[in-house]
């Protein structure tokens, strides 16, 4: 039965060893491919987490600048870009302010304020926009809401301490 296509004896053992070797090479190749995909996914996730951390930090800084504008610690007008103070020297802030309008009609006493925060080394930037009332006079009491807050904590409309009752 030499012509039937079947191997016998030592030739059959060598063929089996060759098949096992091919299986091992395929298994190693699949393992390397899977490891490459997993490593690439992990690197991408780490980069996204770092980018998200920078974006969140930029948003926090932008909301701080906007809060300073609302409290009157910073002027409403356009300014910047300016660097933040230590320990945030690698960040800059910029304020863009335009009068608020509804349709073609400008509404007096309101400003459309946009705070832009950028990182100087990384490509992180955040814009935060809000409609802010323009104070009619400097100091506490320049608008109804701040007058109510000032009265609640013991200050008059002129910014001076109220006498105790």
C-alpha closest to that of 111 among 157, 78, 151, 142: 78
| Cα angle: 69, vertex 70, 75; to 5 degrees | 30
- The answer as to whether 4 is a domain residue is no
Q: What is the pLDDT of residue 30?
A: 95
Over residues 80-111, the pLDDT tens digits come to 788 888 888 889 999 998 888 777 777 778 88
Over residues 70-83, the pLDDT tens digits come to 888 888 877 878 88
- Paired tokens of 152: 């609640």
- The answer as to whether 53 is a domain residue is yes
- The answer as to whether 3 is a domain residue is no
Count of domains for the chain: 2
CA 84 to chain centre: 17
Asked if residues 76 and 69 have their Cβ atoms less than 8 Å apart, the reply is yes
Given its phi and psi angles, is residue 103 left (phi above 0), alpha (psi -120 to 50 degrees) or beta?
left
User: How far is Cα 143 from Cα 135, in angstroms, rounded to an integer?
Assistant: 6
Q: What is the pLDDT of residue 72?
A: 80
Residue 150, pLDDT > 80, answer no
Same domain, 119 and 145: no
**Mean model confidence pLDDT for the chain:** 78
Same domain, 31 and 105: yes
Domain membership of residue 73 as a residue range: 10-134
């Amino acid at each position: 039965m030499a012509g039937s296509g079947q191997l016998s004896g030592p030739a059959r053992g060598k063929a089996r060893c060759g098949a096992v070797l091919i299986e091992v090479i395929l298994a190693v190749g699949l393992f390397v491919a899977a490891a490459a995909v997993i490593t690439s996914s992990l690197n991408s996730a780490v980069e996204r987490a770092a980018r998200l951390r920078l974006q969140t930090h930029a948003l926090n800084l932008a909301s701080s600048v906007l809060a300073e504008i609302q409290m009157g610690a910073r002027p409403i007008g356009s300014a910047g870009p300016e660097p933040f103070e230590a320990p945030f020297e690698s960040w800059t802030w910029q304020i863009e302010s335009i009068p608020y309008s509804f349709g073609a009609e400008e509404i007096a006493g309101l400003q459309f304020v946009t705070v832009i925060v950028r990182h100087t080394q990384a490509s992180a930037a955040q814009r935060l926009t809000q409609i802010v009332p323009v104070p009619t006079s400097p100091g506490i009491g320049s608008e109804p809401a701040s007058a109510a807050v000032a009265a609640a904590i013991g200050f008059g409309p002129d910014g001076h301490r109220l006498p105790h009752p």
